[in-house]
Structure 1
Amino acid sequence: MSDVSAVSFVSSAAQLEGLDLETALMSVQSQRANLLEAQLEGQLKEVQERNAQIGKLNEALGAARELSARFSEKDGSTKKFSELIDSESKAIEKTDSWKAEAKSIKDSFSKEELEIYNAKDFAVQDTFGKEGLERKQLLAAKLTVPDDRTVTGQGLEKLANAASAAGISFDVNNKGELEKAIENLKSMIDTQSNSQQMDMLRLQSLSNKRNEAFDTMTNFVKKMQDSRSSIIGNMR
């Protein structure tokens, strides 16, 4: 018996000293029920934390798979992200000529098109009818400015953020390393899922014991009341 358990036992024994048998038994049952309730709350918290961790790992896995999809089937495992980012950067590079062309397009908008383009989304339909919002989206698409960052660069950032939220990190530089990271994430999720099943079994067991303890205490109280009622009835 540990020191803590010994102190708890001595403390409980001291509390029971001087009590009649029924009151002492009632106190023991009450302490047992409260202890099981506390254990159940702790187990429930552990289950919730594990569920949250599995969710974070799944987010990281989703980000990794999205990033993997950036590579074509012909790309080998050594294809680097830097190469993919470089090719994307060249494809979406913003130039002065593109900006001038976008300005020219906007200058060519009719008065009505400019009103639609500048209107707030929630007011477009009321002012320009059901097709108003769709027309605004088409006009905005003509002036869409490519992001300074690449799609792959954004994917890497998303993966890093998701992994950080899950308390892990991945240093991936090419497709092969990314595939290994995906397999590691799957393994982590499987491990957490297996532990989750054990957590749920413990949770169910504690829940059953807690319910049994409260049922026992309730029955004990009823028997005490019946016994006292019987005694009082006999005294009349």
Structure 2
Amino acid sequence: MSSIGNIQGVSNVNIQSMDLETALMMVQQQRTQLLDAQLNSQIQEVQNRNGQISKLNDVLAGLNAANAMFAGDAKPDAKLGDTKGWKDESVNGAYPTERSMNTAMINAGINLGLTSAADGALTNTKNANGSEVRIDGGIRGMTTKSQVDAAIAKVKGQIDSLGNSQQMDMLRLQSLTNKRNEAFDVMTNFVKKMQESRSSIIGNMR
């Protein structure tokens, strides 16, 4: 465990008016509080990364659904709009795959550059005025098989990268947890010894 002089982030404490035990107790208490703050920050980072992975998985699910509409022998330049599945979804302008896929992209905060139509791609998202939000770079009927394949590879790569970072996050989280528990145990034992020492002194004075 680090010495008191090497503890970083602990605010300066006026120990001139304290006895040695109280001063040591104060420093150890602040170290525990610092580790608590670091631990909470690391937990939040892990949760944020998990959330982003979940959002990217939604995007990947949408891409896979779109990719499944192509025939097994579809050429790279084949368009979604020419597939039977896409045509079936176009009834009454529903386009559920387009809307859910593009909404997932908004939620994940990514632009896969699938299309650049002037009027944008359909979504399930509404703006503050209640109007439908359309996005540039979303999936549309003009999106080709090669574009979908490339987007799937890109999103999988992002998920894998976040997964690797997540493993490092968990190692840091475990390390911080161990340090925090150690600091808490030291503080608890210190308080116990102080109480025992004072009880002994009082007992000897009787």
| Alignment partner of 1:178 out of 135, 148, 153 | 148
How far apart are the structure 2 equivalents of 1:71 and 1:92? Answer: 14
Residue identity over aligned pairs, in percent, reads 48
Higher RCO, Cα 8 Å, sep 6+: 1
The equivalent of 1:215 in structure 2 is 185
How far apart are the structure 1 equivalents of 2:12 and 2:192? Answer: 24
How many angstroms does 1:81 deviate by?
2.4
Q: Is the contact between residue 69 and residue 86 of structure 2 (CA under 8 Å) also seen in structure 1?
A: no
Q: Kindly provide the amino acid, as one letter, of the partner of residue 222 in structure 1.
A: K
How many angstroms does 1:159 deviate by?
1.4
SS in 2 for 1:72: coil
| Alpha-carbon distance change, 202 to 92 in structure 1, aligned in 2, over 3 angstroms | closer
How many angstroms does 1:214 deviate by?
0.6
SS in 2 for 1:148: helix
Moved more, 215-224 or 154-163: 154-163
Which stretches in structure 2 are left out of the alignment for 5+ residues?
1-8, 115-142
Q: Which has the higher helix share?
A: 1
Aligned length: 170
How far apart are the structure 2 equivalents of 1:88 and 1:179? Answer: 17
Q: Deviations over 1:71-109 (max 9, x none)?
A: 011211110123337x954x688xxxxxxxxxxxxxxxx
The equivalent of 2:198 in structure 1 is 228
Q: Deviations over 1:53-84 (max 9, x none)?
A: 00000111011000000001121111012333
Q: Kindly provide the amino acid, as one letter, of the partner of residue 149 in structure 1.
A: G
RMSD of Structure 2 on Structure 1 (CA)? 2.0
How many angstroms does 1:208 deviate by?
0.6
Which stretches in structure 1 are left out of the alignment for 5+ residues?
1-7, 94-146
Between structure 1 and structure 2, the one with the greater Rg is: 1
Q: Kindly provide the amino acid, as one letter, of the partner of residue 64 in structure 2.
A: R
| Alignment partner of 2:109 out of 159, 162, 167 | 167
| Alpha-carbon distance change, 31 to 88 in structure 1, aligned in 2, over 3 angstroms | closer
| Alpha-carbon distance change, 216 to 154 in structure 1, aligned in 2, over 3 angstroms | same
TM-score normalized with structure 2 length: 0.77
Q: Kindly provide the amino acid, as one letter, of the partner of residue 195 in structure 1.
A: S
Q: Kindly provide the amino acid, as one letter, of the partner of residue 12 in structure 2.
A: S
How far apart are the structure 1 equivalents of 2:29 and 2:86? Answer: 68
Q: Is the contact between residue 21 and residue 194 of structure 2 (CA under 8 Å) also seen in structure 1?
A: yes
| Alignment partner of 1:154 out of 87, 96, 105 | 96
Q: Which runs of 4+ in 1 moved over 3 A?
A: none
Q: Kindly provide the amino acid, as one letter, of the partner of residue 229 in structure 1.
A: S
TM-score normalized with structure 1 length: 0.67
